[in-house]
Amino acid sequence: MAGKTYVDHRVLAQFAQDHVNVPVDEAEERRAQVNHLRRRLELHIAKHPEYDLVKLRASGSTAKHTAIRRRKSEGSDADVAAYLRTGDIEIDEHLLLEWLLKRCREVYGETKDEADFAISQHAVGITMRGSGLKIDVAPVLYTGEPDDKGFLVTRQGQRVLTSVTLHLRFIEARKREAGRGYAELIRLLKAWIRWTKTQDSSLRCKSFLLELLVAHLWENGWHSEALQVNDYPRAFEQVLSYIATTGLKTPILFDDYYGADEVITSSDPIQVWDPVNPGNNVASSYNDMERRRLVDAAASALDSVSWAAMAPTKAEAADAWRELFGPTFPGV
């Protein structure tokens, strides 16, 4: 009857299990590929005195357990931070990514094509053609600071403070407090963005940005209500409403590792501050058009979620959620 909620928490949790969460065999494959790279990279860096390898650390969504399963037509990322210390030879930091690219190519030799390697803003990407997995290796200059603090070096040679350890502690603390639903909600939101990008190739929304939006709502709630991580439809409504209502114009910061007075203010259209680095707005590269595009996508999705909550039939409720997740979303 009208008013009955056909797509409830149970339905979305089952959808996450069947279509979003990374299956055990895929997770094992990712770990095996990353471990192979890590072992071989240690050997090849040791042969080049420009940098000393201090440690290799798993990072990113896979390490945080917020990664989503890949589709047959796409790759999926695993991230590795290579902590390096300047060796005996003085070199130009601008060339660090090119240096690491050469080391990664040496790992695989003639077994991989040149096209399988690519440099991004602060990492070397390696695509595994067989599995579709893409591994991003980010060099981090290590200066002996505690908690694995170090500096990413961009293609322009800029240093950006980071810490794999503190990023993991940041999300683990919230996962422990909130429970299993916290990470799974993030994965569902990532699945929404992935599908939405197939409909709008110009849409931008980093995974890390989603993680920080959820962290902010977990700490602050929305309209005097806590983030409902154990009620996925309601939590979706809260996150989407926050984006649509604020327009992402409200600065977001966290005080786990620094004080609010340490934040370096900016005029960027979206301001969401890295919980490890008060000088790094993780959304600094978004222009105002991209902000509005993301806000519009959230507003459209919010309309679908609101309609699904009061849809008169199961089929219509499921159709509304397919607007967010695509045709893989099941009937109910």
Strands 133-142 and 76-86: parallel
Q: What pTM does this model have? A: 0.92
* Architecture of the structural domain at 9-17+168-325: Orthogonal Bundle (1.10)
Average pLDDT, integer, range 238-242: 98
Task: Show the tokens assigned to 236.
Answer: 């979706």
Quickly state the pLDDT bin for 74 (edges 50, 70, 90).
Answer: low
pLDDT tens figures, 149-168: 999 988 888 899 999 999 99
CATH topology of domain 21-163: Beta Polymerase; domain 2 (3.30.460)
pLDDT at 2 over 50: no
pLDDT for residue 66: 93
pLDDT tens figures, 89-142: 666 778 889 989 988 888 888 778 888 999 988 899 998 876 678 889 999 999
Considering the chain, what is the average pLDDT of its residues? 90
Sequence-separated (6 or more) residues with CB below 8 Å from residue 110: none
* Three-state DSSP state, 242: helix
Average pLDDT, integer, range 268-273: 97
Highest mean pLDDT: which range of 36-40, 66-70, 89-93, 257-261: 257-261
Task: Give the start-end residues of each E strand in the chain.
Answer: 51-59, 76-86, 117-119, 124-127, 133-142, 149-153, 159-163
pLDDT for residue 110: 77
User: Residue ranges per domain, the chain?
Assistant: 9-17+168-325, 21-163
pLDDT tens figures, 294-313: 999 999 999 999 999 999 99
